[in-house]
Amino acid sequence: MMRLFPLTLASLWNRRLTAGLTVVVIALSVSLLLGVERLRSDARASFASTVSGTDLIVGARSGPVQLLLYSVFHIGDATNEISWPAVQRIAARREVAWVVPLSLGDSHRGYRVVGTSADFFKYYRYGDRRALAFAAGDPFGPVFEAVVGAEVAARLGYREGARITLAHGSGEHVAEHGDKPFSVVGVLAPTGTPVDRSVLVSLESIEAIHLDWQGGAPIPGLKIAPEMVRKFDLAPKRVTAVLVGLENRAMVFRLQRAINEDTREPLLAILPGVTLDQLWDVVGIGARVLLAVSALVVAVGLAGLVAVVVASLGERRRELAILRALGAGPRDVFFLVAAESVLLTLAGCVLGVALVQVLVFSMAAWLQANYGLAVSPGWPVGREWMLLGAVMLAGLLASLVPALRAYRQSLADGMMVRM
């Protein structure tokens, strides 16, 4: 059989245009399949790396996924807030090492404003427990100082010293806090998380801009100048959520149960990792559908391979007859045709892998900047190898169709009586 391998290569080279087009079709379908799988796995990794090192997230009683979405991903709004005494009670527990309160609800030119404490820069972790880093400047001070995420700085052209104003609410209907401007004192390095799309200010600043507001609107006839706000009590009254870190992670379930069963205030404590899995079960449906569509495209590409090889058998009848006359048996013809199909599939897979690497390399920065999705080129891993193996197996099975046809055709030609 091995002596027919050079002949297989020569036969493919003789039909290089048709073979090349077939390889391209298979490569495009394989690249789509692997690209969807790479995006799916990297998107899940990006979801999981958004917040790490945080043992619990506490908010007003609602749904776990809803709490995770608005506190970490800044999607949607909280149905209620939690009181500052509740935050202090959580922070005072022996199991708790640190707490980072978050106050949401304001925005700046479409980006979320996050009111928090200076401990946010100390304890917030993402990815493999990576700490936040400053591309320029320093953390904010007590009032009217802001730190902007990498995307906010890049899109709006902010640097240290820039003056900005915040708005009450988010979306289309907002009301500007134009009488109390902020100064940008720091710009964070890119993280690939929602922090890049955030404006971070102190909790005291959130209280300061709302001193002359009530019920989501300015109090008529009342204006408190920025230089006067420090004379008021700016301690936070309520916050949206709290990130909690423990001294010993083995106590996480005990603390979660204690918070959820606290009768003094209806609270909900969630484990970020567990809730992320629940969130992915919902979001991942779309990815699985795309993967199924990509598999269907691969099947169509392999069907095209079968059609091309079968269609060429009629033109190659004389070629195969000559091989029989030179001593090749029906099994040799079967191997020759099957090997051609398998080689075309293998070449398509190799080209598809290379195409995925080129696309990932060229689009990685764009995906990171626009969607916060961290993708990186590299050899196929895990499920990608399984998908490539499945494609090769499907290609092998598909090659049996033209190979069997050639076998029967060759066998019939060999039995013909030539005059």
Distances (CA, A) of 253 to 53, 84, 271, 315, 399: 16, 23, 9, 72, 56
C-beta of residue 26 within 8 angstroms of C-beta of residue 352? yes
- Return the higher-pLDDT residue of 153 and 409: 153
| Tokens 């978050």 sit on residue | 102
| Tokens 């009670």 sit on residue | 89
* Average per-residue pLDDT for the chain: 82
Q: What is the C-alpha to C-alpha distance for residues 281 and 68, in angstroms, rounded to an integer?
A: 14
C-beta of residue 140 within 8 angstroms of C-beta of residue 186? yes
Question: pTM to 2 decimals?
Answer: 0.71
| Tokens 């909690």 sit on residue | 244
- Return the higher-pLDDT residue of 339 and 24: 24
C-beta of residue 130 within 8 angstroms of C-beta of residue 190? no
User: What pLDDT, on the 0 to 100 scale, is given for residue 414?
Assistant: 47
With residue 108 as reference, give the H or E element that holds it: strand 96-108
CB atoms within 10 A of CB 189: 13
| Tokens 């993708």 sit on residue | 375
User: What pLDDT, on the 0 to 100 scale, is given for residue 356?
Assistant: 87
The C-alpha angle 175, 177, 179, rounded to 5 degrees, equals: 135
pLDDT digits (tens, 9 = 90+) for 115-135: 999 999 999 998 778 899 999
Please give the DSSP secondary-structure letter assigned to residue 106. E
The residue ranges of every structural domain in the chain are 2-47+284-413, 56-270
Q: Are strands 145-148 and 182-188 parallel, antiparallel or unpaired?
A: parallel
Categorize the per-residue pLDDT at 415 as very low, low, confident or very high, splitting at 50, 70 and 90.
Answer: very low
pLDDT digits (tens, 9 = 90+) for 174-192: 778 888 899 999 999 988 8
